[in-house]
Structure formats: structure tokens, C-alpha cells
Structure 1
Amino acid sequence: MSFFSRLPRLAVWLLLSVPGCKNAPEPVVNPPVMPPTATTFTNPLLSTGPDPWVIQKDGFYYYMHTTGINLTLWKTAKMSELGSAVSKVIWTPPASGLNTRAIWAPEIHFLDGKWYVYFTAGNCCGAQRLWVLENPNADPTTGSWTEKGQLAVPGQDLWAIDATILEQNGNRYLVWSGQEPGSEQQNLYIASMSNPWTITGPRVRLSQPTERWEINGFPSYPKVNEGPEILKHGGKTFIVFSASHCSSDDYALGLLTASSTADPMDPAAWTKTPTPIFTKNPTNHAYGPGHNAFFTSKDGREDWIIYHANLAPNQGCGNARNPRMQKFEWNADGTPNFDTPVTTGTPLPRPGGE
């Protein structure tokens, strides 16, 4: 999320109400990104890039991250060469309305033969909601994007961020981070969808921040579960989510697990791992690692996680966060093993097939 998503609502209102503030970039303190060699690459992939997301289709990777001011799409045949990928702004916010500022956490999905981008945006009061764009073109960097409108539970108008898609048992669901009326605590919710831009409701709460590692930053900031992402393996469905406030260096990843045949709308079907599964590594210059995505190598043999982190302590929720990627393995019980954030600036083998 952007810096603004991590402040109490009054502070958000004050910051976003400053004339022109949405166009004032935060300083980026990261070093230059090193170009890959023939066989290796180094992290970070870009000098800035909070909330990274990537999907692979037809031999290309399509990548997005939070810019705060628009929706930008990158296209590359090799994730290790993201730094030299061509990018295109596919949407800019309107001059007025409910989705003019604080544009966060975009995800691009290919559903029912069309491309959809799910993103978070608000207005001058920081009233964050979920929105959807559609593009029927085979290549989402071409053609036009149509705004399908706000994505909301019928009869509800509640703060919501970080939407992603879960498909299970022949059905489609939206999973996101939201709040209860009158509360700033962020929980994870799920709801059924009738099409890629419509929630049929009702929503069900799957997780809330209760463990000590989920509430770092509290009470100065709200308790947080956010950034849910779907991962499937060996008959299990996982929701990997970000926990604690992003202002904390202890922002980390947690895990929910269910059977791949379970009803995902049943909270009892999900089990939360009692400890975080991916945490900071100061030695390797990784503070506050989180808000991730997954992809498979071009040769189909390797599983990779992409995530953001800060290079130094106390850099918080701004544009100093940069995208990094690393290969991961699987534990004997079928759960993902992300190990620890790898060090920056050290050559690593490219994903298989690159």
C-alpha cells in the first residue's frame, strides 16, 4: 500500500487534502538497479515498486505495482529483465469522483477471455474502495480499457483494499482486506462473484489480526491483515497475506490453508499458521517484506515469489519499498517454504528458461 494507507483516517484526510499532494513523489533512496548478466540477476528488480503483482500468459509476464497516481503495466518475456521492460500507463484517474487519488495495489487477471485490472482508489478523504477495468484485447498493453465501476458487496459501502481472485470448485470469489463499520482494523474477507466485476454477496470474514506478529505498529496504527494472494499446491489452497502495519519493519507474511475442494466461504475450512512464514532479514537489507505475488519460471519447473521490502530500517510505507524475487520450495506437509529474504546486490540464478 501507499504511505497514506497506513495512517489514521484523520491523518489521511489531512495529507490527501493538500493541493497537488497526489502528484508529489516521495524521495526514493534506493541504489541503481544492476542489469542482469547472461545467467544471473540481482535484487531489487526496480528501484521502487510497492505491492508488486505479476501474471504470465502466452510467453510474457505482465507486471504492475502501486504508483499512487495511475495504473501502469509492464510487459516482459523475462522477469529477470523487468528493469528494462517497456511500460505503459493504461489508466489515469478522473479529475473528480470517488477514485481520483491514492491508487494502490493493482492486479491484472485474465478471466473469461478478457483482461481485468482490480485496484484500490479513493477520493480526497481517503475513502478507499475497489474498482475494476476491462480489456478484451489479447495483449493488455494494446487496445482500450473500460472502467467497469466500483466492486462492492450489495448494500454495503465499506472501506476496502487489495482485491484478488480465487477460483475453486468451479466458482469464482473475490478476496480482499476490509473493515467493519466504525472500526479501522483490517480483516480478510471473501465473497462470491457472478462475473469478473460483480460481487453477489454476502461477504464472510476469514481472518483478523490477533497474533502478536500481526499487530506490530498498534496502537499508533490499526491492526492489519491485508494483501491476500492465492497459491495452490498438492490438493491445498493457500491465502498468503501481509500482517502488521507497513510502517513497522516487522511487516511480514502469514498463511491460511484450506483443502482445494473445501468451500472457501466457510471460515472453519481455513487454518491460520500460528507464526509468520516470511519475515525481515536486516543482514540481507530486507525490512518489512510483504505484499507479494507468485509466478512460475518459463521452463515450468520453478516456483517464485515476488514481494516488496525496504533496504533500511524505519523507511515505512513509501516509495523506498522495492520489488524483489526469489525461488521457493515446498515443505513435506505441502506448505510453501519461502525461507528468508535473499540479499540485495548479490548475483542469483535467473528463473529457469530465461
Structure 2
Amino acid sequence: MTSASFHRSRMLAPLLLLGLLACKKESGTTAPITPTNPTTPATTFTNPLLGNTAGPDPWVYQKDGTYYYMATTGNNVTIRKTAKMSELGSSPSYPVWSPLATGDNSRDVWAPELHYLDGKWYIYYTAGPGNCCDGQKSWVLENSNPDPTRGGWVEKGRIISPGADYWAIDGTVAEINGQRYYIWSGQSGPIGNNTDNEQRLYISAMRNPWTLDGARTELSRPTLSWERNGYPKVNEAPQILQRDGKTFLIYSASHCSSDDYALGQLTLTGTNPLDAASWTKLQTPVFTKSAASRAYGPGHNGFFKSKDGTQDWIIYHANNDPGQGCGGARKPRMQQFTWNADGSPNFGSPVAIGTPITRPAGE
């Protein structure tokens, strides 16, 4: 989530309806018939997860044994609901919110994220009035129903950074040391006044799920060579990953039009997340393209645990072929990742499409 950037193609995410045809043979007897080839439950799955269905900016939230999946559709906010992530492709989908025909959040609906906060559901998404290179901002929806696919979603308005109400996309919510923060990708000033049009990562404390508290802090900008492929230069799609008291911020860098769109990492090495000096930036990417695996521009990821809670998984989008850029060719993929001896995540390399992958533990 896009990968959310200036020049993204508007995309739709058509749902593929799969018909299951059953054949019944009259046997002329009431005796049970033992099949000669009994069906064995599948133990593997393959990427991409949704076949030919587009899925840029995938996001997963898990609660009470259920996984909720979201991705950019371009024209609405849709939730897929499943008990098993390996069966995402056959899960039902629920369009839960659509914008009005006109208005400040009527077009280019990108990178939705679902969060359960203070006993209610919230969806953070990006949208604008129709010019993605100028008006994109962060917005919030609220739902008090225990099931986010039911009930009504109320528009809580925009997430506004005090004194810096500029272009803002890819917002996520993180809790660090008991404090809630909002982290997003934005610009240093108003569109037209920037000479670089860079996308940078910002953080702010949250007063409540729809209000920021205090000025923003810039955490990262695209300064390294691997972050500066394509135009404009991009740091976006921040995601927080925590384990054993360590906090990592995984982000996407380079423009989505580039096959070299990749993941980078910041580590919280200080005590104050609002102090840029408390974060240390890794100088090399942590997840990159693989021509052999047909994974181009892998990024804009999310994280989730396996059904039994013993495994860590990354979900991300990638193009199957080079030069496919920012459009609907980006499809969701997932794979297990491990941890290095120093406690940092090890994402490995993208698994080749069509390769059988053992289902998440517990499925």
C-alpha cells in the first residue's frame, strides 16, 4: 500500500467467481461406496495467492482465529475474511465502504489497513479528489460491530498532522512501550513547493484513533542508492514488526514503476520513537526482486502469525514480469520468515511463483 506513490494506475479488483460442479452417479444400491481415490487435504499452497486477481498493498489483521485481508482496489474498501490464509483465494469478500462520486476522498482509494483499537474497528486508507499527484490524504473509518464485515462504517474524517497538512499516504498504527503512534509516508511541504517531490516517513503520537497529538517527526528519506530508483524518490508503506522487546520498522523504497522496488529496515535503538536519532537505518535492503522467482518490485508488505502462533509470515505484492510497474499486475504473495542471531528479521528471497509452499502451521 499502490505501492502508494504519485503516478499509480487506477485499478479495479474484480472478484473471480469460481463455480463448483458436482457429479452424482446413480448406483442402484443403498450400500456406501468407498472412493478408490479418496481426497487428501492439501498441505501446500502456491503464490500468487489470488490467481489473476490484483492485490497491490496487501494487509492482514488477525483476531480471535480469523484473518482479515485488505488490498488496494482503487474505488472502494473491501475486506476478505478467512480462517486459513492459505485459502485466501476462496474466501468471501465484503465491500464495506465506497466513496461518494465527488469530494476530497472520492477517488484513488489506496492501501487500506484494518485495526482493532479501544474496542472498535478502524480502517485507515488513502484517498483524494482525483489527482493522485496532489490531493492524496489519510482518512479514517470506524465500526463498533464485533465483526468488521458487518455493521456500519462511520467516517471519522482525515488524519491531520498539526502544522503540516500535506500529501500523506500509507498510514499505519503502532503501539510502542504503551504509547500509540501513527506512521505514514508524506512530503516535506505542499505539492508544487517541493523541489524533490520525495516521499518520506513520518511519525506522530496519537491522542485517539483518529487524532494526532503533536508535531510530526521525519524518520527516513530516500538517501541510499537502492532507495532512489524511478521517480519520484520514495520511502513509503511503513510497517512495525516487534519481537523480544525489539522494534523494527520495515518500509518500501524506490518508485513502484521500478522493478527494484524493495524493502528496507529501521531499528529502534533509542528510547523515544519520536526522536529520529532513536532509529538506526540499515544501509542495505532486506527483501529484493528475484528474476529467477519471477518476483519484480516486491514490497508494500504486512505481517501475521500462523494459525498456531508458532510461525512468522510476510505478505507482500510483486509483479510476475519485468516492466509491469504500479498497476493491477501486482498480486499478493506470502511466505514464512525467520530471525537472525541478533534478533532482526530474515525475510530471505521471494519464493518462485507456482512453487508448493507448506501451509502455515495449524492449518
2:27 aligned partner: none
Distance between the aligned counterparts of 1:136 and 1:105, measured in 2? 22
Q: Deviations over 1:297-323 (max 9, x none)?
A: 011100000000000000000000000
Select the residue among 331, 336, 345 that pairs with 2:340.
331
How is 1:166-181 mapped onto 2 (pairs within 5 angstroms)?
166-181=174-189
Question: For 2:14 and 2:95, how far apart are their aligned partners in 1?
Answer: 21
Q: Number of residue pairs matched?
A: 331
Tell me which amino acid in the other structure corresponds to 2:122: Y
1:162-311 equivalence runs, <5 A: 162-181=170-189, 182-183=193-194, 184-217=197-230, 221-259=231-269, 262-311=271-320
Structure 1 position 43 matched with structure 2 position 56: no
Alpha-carbon spacing, 1:87–1:279, altered in 2? closer, same or farther (3 Å): same
In 1, Cα distance between equivalents of 2:357 and 2:83: 18
TM-score (normalised: structure 1): 0.90
Q: Distance in 1 between matches of 2:63 and 2:287?
A: 27
In structure 2, the partner of 1:139 is 147
Go from structure 1 to structure 2 and tell me whether the alpha carbon gap of 1:25 and 1:173 turns closer, same or farther (over 3 Å shift). Answer: closer
Q: Which residue in 1 is equivalent to 2:23?
A: none
Taking only aligned residues, the RMSD between alpha carbons, in angstroms, comes to 1.9
Query: Is residue 302–residue 314 contact of structure 2 (8 Å, CA) maintained in 1?
Result: yes
| 1:133-160 C-alpha deviation (Å, 9 max, x unpaired) | 0011111011111010011112332000
Quick check: 1:98 aligned with 2:104?
A: yes
Cα distance between partner residues in 1 of 2:42 and 2:14: 32
Distance change (3 Å), C-alpha of 1:58 and 1:38 = same
Of Structure 1 and Structure 2, which has the larger fraction of its residues in helix?
1
Contact 1:281 1:341 in 2 (8 A): yes
Could you say which residue in structure 2 is the equivalent of 1:314?
A: 323
Per-residue deviation, residues 79-129 of structure 1 (Å, max 9, x unmatched): 000000110101001122100100000000000111000000011232100
The alignment partner of 1:50 has SS state of coil
Asked whether 1:5 is paired with 2:13, we answer: no
- Does the CA-based 8 Å contact 2:2-2:72 persist in structure 1? yes
Shift of the 351–3 alpha-carbon distance from structure 1 to 2, 3 Å rule, reads: closer
Following superposition, the deviation at residue 258 of structure 1 comes to: 0.8
Q: Is the 8 A contact 2:4 2:169 kept in 1?
A: no
SS at match of 2:72: coil
Residues 26 and 318, structure 1, Cα contact 8 Å, conserved in 2 = no
Q: 3-state DSSP class of the match of 1:56?
A: strand
4+ runs of 1 displaced by more than 6 Å? Answer: none
Query: Which residue identity is paired with 1:102?
Result: D
User: Sequence identity, in percent?
Assistant: 61
The one-letter code sitting in structure 2 at the alignment partner of 1:197 is: W
Q: Do structure 1's residue 155 and structure 2's residue 163 form an aligned pair?
A: yes
Q: Which amino acid aligns with 1:235?
A: G
Q: What is the one-letter code of the residue matched to 1:236? A: K
Distance 1:324 1:177, change over 3 A: same
| Change in 2 beyond 3 A, CA 1:310/1:37 | farther
Structure 2 stretches lacking a partner, 5+ long: 19-39
TM-score (norm 2): 0.88
Question: For 2:13 and 2:66, how far apart are their aligned partners in 1?
Answer: 31
Indicate the SS of the match to 2:115.
strand
1:229–1:4 distance in 2 versus 1, CA, 3 Å:
closer
Letter in 2 for 1:2: T
The 2-side partners of 1:225 and 1:64 are apart by: 21
Provide closer, same or farther for how the CA distance between residues 37 and 158 of structure 1 changes in structure 2, counting only shifts above 3 A.
farther
1:58 aligns with 2:64: yes
Residue 123 of structure 2 corresponds to residue 114 of structure 1: no
- Give the number of the structure whose alpha-carbon radius of gyration is greater: 2
Name the SS of the counterpart of 2:131 in structure 1.
coil
The structural deviation recorded for 1:351 is 0.1
* Aligned counterpart, 2:21: none
Closer/same/farther in 2, CA of residues 3 and 175 from structure 1, 3 Å limit: closer
Match status 1:352 vs 2:355: no
Q: CA deviation at 1:235?
A: 1.9
Aligned AA for 1:95?
A: A
* Residues in 2 aligned to 1:245 and 1:155: alpha-carbon distance in whole angstroms: 27
CA distance, structure 1, for counterparts of residue 318 and residue 41 of structure 2: 23
Whole-Å separation in 2 of the counterparts to 1:57 and 1:25: 27
Alignment partners' CA distance in 1, 2:153 and 2:258: 36
